[in-house]
Chain A
Amino acid sequence: MKTINQKGWFFVAPVVILVAFNALIPLMTVVNYSVQETFGNNLFLWQGLDWFQNLLRSDRFYGALGRQALFTSTILLIEIPLGVAIALAMPRKGIWVPVCLVLMSLPLLIPWNVVGAMWNIFTLPDIGLAGYFLNSVLGINYDMTQDPFAAWTTIIIMDVWHWTSLVVLLSYAGIISIPDPYYQAAKIDGASGWAVFWFIQLPKMKRVLTIAVLLRFMDSFNIYTEPFVLTGGGPGNATTLLSIDLVKTALGQFDLGPAAAMSLIYFAVTLLVSWIFYSYMTKDEE
């Protein structure tokens, strides 16, 4: 049992100070932008909640939000089941375990813009391995710069390529922490393979899967570098996800106010969804 001891705050103080310095000051700056209009030269005008109101009425905002929601839910629906399935099929011991782990972790360690560049090179219609194969061997007309569907498919496959391993690592860790007697008892009770998965493995993976979903949700909601390098948000606005839109607004048009307001709304959405999910998944503890 843990002792109730307010001394705990003393130990977390460094973290709190560092994070507050890093998070609260920029957050306040963004809040400050979001209620002002700027014309450059450090000239700011009070704007109140106008930006928020405008945003909530603009099609562009809902377009980006919709694309972001579609992207995030698609990759979650692919990466989580796929990651769990791969983790289940992995060997539990022997020399192949480190081999699998090392090779699977590789995509996680590649800088994000390199991931984008790599996929760009990989999918070039004429000289990329995948692009050439699709166009010249299978005869599918594949060109990301022209076809929105091709662009979508590519950024989703790229994200699956990039991040499924994180889900695999987490699920695998959950699976190998299950003590042998659970499997033995299930054998003795005559449980089917499906029952073992549903009643033993999945419940034991719940903790790590919660974190996996949270991390993937948060990170994919903020994804910027990889799709920006790969598609630049195009063709048209087809792959303009939240962050790409934000940067277009903030830096491209130098509309700091609307961009700040937008990011605060997105932040609130992410926070709300994560909080609901986190509370739901941890409500059984204690």
Chain B
Amino acid sequence: MAKISLKKLKHSYYPAPKKPEDYALKEIDLSWLDGGAYALLGPSGCGKSTLLNIISGLLVPSEGHVLFDDKDVTMLTPAERNIAQVFQFPVIYDTMTVYNNLAFPLRNRGIEEARVDTRVREIAKMLELDEMLDRRASRLTPDNKQKISMGRGLVRDDVNVIMFDEPLTVIDPLLKWKLRSKLKELHQKTKATMIYVTHDQTEALTFADQVVVMQEGEIVQIGTPIELFERPAHTFVGHFIGSPGMNVLPCEIKDGKAYFQGDQVEIEGEINPTNSTKTELGVRPEFITFGKKGVPAVVKKIVDLGKHYVIECMCADFRVNVVSVSNQQNAGDAVHLSFKPQQTRVYADGWIASKDGSK
């Protein structure tokens, strides 16, 4: 196991990149502690898979370094780095039995057969594959195949890190949930460093202790699931995490105060001085209530999601979602919306521009 640091990492798929758009990764500095569970979250094409392949050694970055503990591994092959990776589609060796599939990485490293046998049986038991060790791997269901892929990573007890590249894509929704909790359980048992790449916020937030959100080759925010939810550093994170996402409304800043549609809105703390022409208010639907005072709006649509309602309102031309456990509104009602000041923030050019009032 090892601590992983990325230093000034840049990558471009073009031989001679010039513009910033030529880079799939724009400049990544990051460090991950030994034994943690991390997630890389972002939409398709944000560079998360590129980053993963650089860490595993399948890609050599254009610039920058990858360090395991304090050893520079940038130029080492995946085998030399001693890592494991599970891919989007299950990769299994069709002609081998489940047992031989699991034993393969160990045998390639010349480990004695007695030790191989113990490890394979141990891991098979953990993954509930012990019943089918003698079966041909090609005849299994996709979720069992994916378990074998994971097993081949876990079977080596000296791996520096295990990486998962959207491993649940081909799995049925019901089994997805099972496999995800299995993974969490395995992390607790093995204490291996795990990096989990996904575009699915639920997967990232339930698996990881710390989530790295990426967009267009850049890291937008690193934080615990709660931090990402409560205080998005960028409107993108606000949109991307949460369902429905954060309400983002244009606002004006005058004398350190924020105004929406001419009305002053209370926010969490001081606003950083800014010259930006694009200033916005961000408030999650969970932190808006209906009241006597506040921003006037008209209820447009009410969606019953079972455990709560999503009430869609219009403030002039802007849509504001409100999440509420109970509902007294009807479509067409005129209402006033009050934003919880501690959870209302100002963003300038997308980035957070108000100071955290709780500190």
What residues of chain A have their CB less than 8 Å away from a CB belonging to chain B?
179, 181-182, 184-185, 187-192, 195, 199-200, 203-204, 284
Contacts and interface: CB of A to CB of B under 8 A. Distances in A.
Interface of B: 53, 56, 58, 77-79, 83-85, 87-89, 91, 93-96, 104-105, 108-109, 138, 149, 152
Given A181-B89, A184-B78, A189 B105 contact: yes
Contact of A184 (B58, B95, B109, B138): B58
A191 B108 contact: yes
Given A188-B78, A189-B152, 5 more contacts: A184-B85, A185-B91, A185-B149, A188-B56, A188-B79
A202 to B, nearest CB: 8
The 3 closest A-B pairs by CB, nearest first: A190-B108, A181-B87, A185-B91
Contacts of B53: 184
A188 B93 contact: no
Contacts, number: 52
Contacts of A187: 58, 77-79
Contacts of B85: 184-185, 188
Contact of B83 (A179, A188, A203): A188
Contacts of A188: 56, 78-79, 83-85, 105
B91 A182 contact: yes
6 contacts: A179-B89, A184-B85, A188-B56, A190-B109, A191-B108, A204-B94
A199 B96 contact: yes
A195 B105 CA distance: 11
A205 B152 CA distance: 24
A254 B29 CA distance: 87
Contacts of B77: 187
Contacts of B79: 187-190
Contacts of B96: 199
Contacts of A191: 104, 108
B88 to A, nearest CB: 7
B109 A199 contact: no
Contact of B104 (A181, A189, A203, A284): A189
A188 B58 CA distance: 9
Contacts of B149: 185
A143 B91 CA distance: 55
Contacts of B91: 181-182, 184-185
A181 B108 contact: no
A53 B89 CA distance: 59
A188 B153 CA distance: 9
B244 to A, nearest CB: 34
B152 A203 contact: no
| Of listed B88, B93, B138, residue having the most chain A CB within 10 A | B93
Contacts of A195: 108
| Of listed B84, B91, B96, B105, residue having the most chain A CB within 10 A | B91
Nearest to B81: A188
B14 to A, nearest CB: 16
A199 B152 contact: no
B105 A190 contact: yes
Given A188-B85, A190-B108, A190-B109, A199 B78 contact: no
A95 to B, nearest CB: 15
A182 to B, nearest CB: 5
Contact of B87 (A185, A190, A192): A185
Contacts of A182: 91
A204 B91 CA distance: 12
Nearest to A191: B108
B108 A199 contact: no
